[in-house]
Amino acid sequence: MGLAKGTGPIYLETGEHKEVSVQQGEQRLCTLQSGWALPLWRQGLAVNSFSALRENFLQFKGQTTAKLAVVGASLKVPADSPLASLGITRPLLAVKSTELELVAHMPQIVGQRKTFSYL
């Protein structure tokens, strides 16, 4: 089970009740609807990301801030969806973020790849 990267279009509807739907081909996998929102505060967080370029392992350090809110949400998973077997009936907690800011610094080399052979 899984959603192959790049094959699941995401549809967003705005209005009084916001809705996000994920599909795989013609099959709807799930729909998340949100209604009320309880604004919280602006939160900062240090984030690190890793990658590889040729023989080098890279680390990108960064910071992000966003304005957070707890939202009322409902999740609908059709019975024929591959996600139905997970038994998710409703979110325990839904949080939205707005005014997202991300600062990513230049990558640093933090290691080297080593080739491995069974021979």
Q: Is the pLDDT of residue 1 over 50?
A: no
Amino acid at position 119, single letter: L
**Burial class of residue 73, CB neighbours in 10 A (0-12, 13-18, 19+):** buried
pTM score > 0.75 for this model?
no
Can you tell me which residue has the tokens 């081909």?
A: 25
Cα dihedral 107/108/110/116 (nearest 10): 60
pLDDT in tens, 37-59: 888 999 998 888 888 888 888 89
pLDDT of residue 117: 53
Rounded Cα distance between 88 and 96, Å, is 19
Query: Residue 86: helix, strand or coil by DSSP?
Result: helix
